[in-house]
Each structure stands twice: as C-alpha cells, then as structure tokens.
Structure 1
C-alpha cells in the first residue's frame, strides 16, 4: 500500500476540513503546516518517505498562504538533492469566491511539484455542468487540475458544501489509485 501524505495549511478551518476529506479518500496521513509556517517534528522525514504528497492551501489574494509559501521555500533542501524526484504530487485549495483565482494556487502547487521533479495527478473527474446540476454535486466548480472548494466568507468550516467535500474524497481516492499503480 502506498504511503500518502496530505500536507496542508488552513487559516480558518475550511482547508483543514477539505484536507481531512482528501485524506479519508486516500487513506492518507494528515500533516498540518502550523500558523508560523512550520512542519511538525519529523515532518521532513515523513515527506521524504512518502510515495505521494497531496498539497493543500487556502487561496489568499490569488495564491497560497504565506505559511505554505514558507514551507515551499524551505523545501529547497530536498530540491537541491532531488530527494522528491519521481514522487507523485497533487493539490487542492479553497477560497471564499466561486472563482477566487483558485487556479493560481493550483498552478503554484503544480509548479512546486514540477521543480521537485514530481509527477502530477489530476482531478480525473468530469464537472457537474448540466442544467440539472446542483451546487452540492461533485466537481460542481469544474476543476481538472486538482480539487477545489468554495466556502462563503461568512460560513464556518462546518457549513462547507457536501459536494465539495465529496469531490475532495474522490480526489484522494484517485491519487491513491494512481499511487498504487506506481508503487511496487
């Protein structure tokens, strides 16, 4: 069974809830980047040992949070030795607006994975985009690059749309399925 880590930063709990859904689908270990942008003790070793890293950050001002960026900058040490080359990567994000420039965040996560020599796993799910589609349908927001969610700015994490959380679980399952094909 592949070792999968869901690495995330969450400012208000929404991205954490999404990370929990991704981890549930992938049967993965959760690893939070703290409010100061640091990994927990042993975090670097856990990432080194992972077959796949699913990265998540809220979208703030059209990009990852500064805490996630601090982690990304600190990942230059494994980058220098190409320690994560050929590792599977995937990404997810949440913002208050329906668009919210979430694609900029996914592109940042993708670029970080590519700089590490990684292999990106896409969403792999068609969007719910017919006239009959409802807001709680999986992939209602229509992402292909990674899982995305939208949480109104005045809604708590417990009020997230069930379709977004199901999208996250399905995304986690997809990464786990792909990782199983790549892991001896």
Structure 2
C-alpha cells in the first residue's frame, strides 16, 4: 500500500478543495491510501508523515509566499529535518491565489526548496499547458497553480484547476509506487 500525506493550510476553504482533489487523484491509483493533514493539526500527525511514501504540500499564496500557518509548520519540521526522517520520500506541491499569477511561482519554489532541504525528491506536474483536458491552464510544471477570486470555495477554483489537482495526485501516487519498487 502506497501512503501519501497531504499537508495543507486553507484560510478560506479554497486550498482545502484543491487538497481534496489531490487526495481523490492519488486514491484513484490502485493500492494508494492518501490522507489530509491540516497544518493546524500536524502535532498529532508527525508519525504519519514519517510513515508516508510521499508528502504533498499545499498552501495558499499570501503576500507572494506561503501562508503564515504553513510557514509555522515548516519551521516546526526541524526535528524530522535534523533526523532526516523525510529523506528520499517523494514530494509535490500546490497553491492557490486570487489572480492568474498572484506570485504563485514563488510559493511553489518555497515548497520545493523546503522539500529539498529535507532531502526529498520533487515530483512536478507533467501536463502541457492548455491541454485538451484543460488542466495546467496557468502553465506551471513545478506543481499545481489554482485560482479563486472572492467567491465561495464551492464556486472556485474552477473545474480545470480541480482536475489539475487530481492529475498531480495521480502522478505522485504512480511515481511513489515506482519509487518503492527501486528503493
């Protein structure tokens, strides 16, 4: 059984919608179990993160970077960092903001650097921009970029962004199964 943990912060519910679709995509791959871990609850889940084959990180983009609560989680991960608990696990990331750019690339780069500091192996999004399924409409290969304006999470992110999140979950699950065979 491949285990994927999705650690996220969602200030207004939009990031949680993306996280749920990443989980759905991961669990669509046979033999995969995925869990959602809000950063506010991470203290009860350090062992689960250690046991995971892959960890997907998700944060809204606030003021051009990860949210404050997500940064607090990053800083709190110093013990697993020091003990190299996440080394050689796969990692991926997603973010959402109110505009097409919203400086989301900086957030994904922050998540990627965070994963690299833990010795993790980053899995990006492989979908070509503007493909026939409409996924990766914002053109990011580093991870999922989604957009949601000042509307309820039931309205945005749109379906293309939600499908992109599922595709990332599928890719991480497939890569995790492959990675487990060779490690």
SS in 2 for 1:89: strand
Structure 1 position 178, deviation (Å): 0.3
In 1, Cα distance between the equivalents of 2:6 and 2:96? 15
Q: Cα distance, 1:39 vs. partner?
A: 1.4
Query: How far did 1:139 drift?
Result: 1.1
Q: Shift of the alpha carbon at 1:40? A: 4.9
Alignment-derived partner of residue 25 in structure 1: 25
Distance 1:140 1:10 in 2: 22
Residues 81-96 of structure 1 aligned to structure 2 (within 5 Å):
81-96=83-98
- Structure 2 matches for 1:113-152, cutoff 5 A? 113-128=115-130, 137-152=134-149
Q: Counterpart in 1 of 2:42?
A: 39
Structure 2 Cα separation of the partners of residues 107 and 142 of structure 1 = 15
* Structure 2 unaligned spans of 5+: 28-33
The 8 Å contact of residues 31 and 40 in structure 1, kept in 2 or not, is answered as: no
State the TM-score, normalized to the length of structure 2.
0.92
- Give the ranges of 4+ consecutive aligned residues of structure 1 lying more than 6 Å apart after TM superposition: none
Q: Matched residues in 2 for 1:45 and 1:110: separation?
A: 22
Q: Deviations over 1:63-83 (max 9, x none)?
A: 001100000001010111111
Task: Provide the C-alpha distance between the structure 2 equivalents of 1:138 and 1:87, rounded to a whole number of angstroms.
Answer: 26
Q: Which has the higher strand share?
A: 2
Distance 1:83 1:139 in 2: 31
Deviations 1:136-169 (A, max 9, x none): 82111111000110011x2110112100000000
Alpha-carbon distance in structure 1 between the residues aligned to 2:42 and 2:4: 16
Structure 2 equivalent of residue 13 of structure 1: 13
User: What's the counterpart of residue 102 of structure 1?
Assistant: 104
Distance 1:33 1:74 in 2: 10
SS in structure 1 opposite 2:62? coil
Partner of 1:155: 151
The aligned length equals 174
Note the residue ranges of structure 1 that are not aligned, 5 or more in a row: none
Cα distance in 1, alignment partners of residues 127 and 43 from structure 2: 32
